[in-house]
Amino acid sequence: MLGSSVWVLTLLIAWALVLLVLMEALRARLVVLGRVASTGFRPDNANLSPFMQRLTRAHANCIEGLPIFGGLLIVALVTGRSELTDGLAWWLLAARIVQSSIHLASTTLWAVNARFTAFVVQLGIAAYWVFALLRG
């Protein structure tokens, strides 16, 4: 049976993939409808709707965090110490999904603060994992 760390690592990757597929599906729709030429996309979607710009940043946040959060999960797994990450792994995933979902939904002050709070939860979990893994 797979442990929580394996599941969460896989689901962190899957979440980033879901956001990427959504972005590319929406871009493809714009091309098919003739609203944007296939060569007309900017990497940050700055020439598209505010939602598409937020989607780009939400996806980028996942990719930027994966080496840190996923890397710590991998370290725990390859060293046979996933018991150190299993307990908080699902909380990390939940905080990541909450952060991305809020990012997609709104940029109001309340939303930005809530999104930052979800990110701080992830940072706290990662810092705890670093110290736990280094303690030996």
pLDDT of residue 1: 74
How many domains in the chain?
1
pLDDT of residue 125: 98
pLDDT of residue 98: 98
CA nearest to 125, candidates 79, 64, 73 = 73
36: domain CATH number is 1.20.120.550
Predicted TM-score (pTM) of this structure:
0.94
pLDDT of residue 16: 98
Long-range own/partner contacts, residues 18-24 (CB < 8 A, 24 or more apart): 19/55, 19/58, 19/59, 19/62, 19/100, 20/59, 22/55, 23/52, 23/55, 23/56, 23/59
The low-confidence residues of the chain, meaning pLDDT below 50, are none
| Range of the structural domain that residue 94 is part of | 4-135
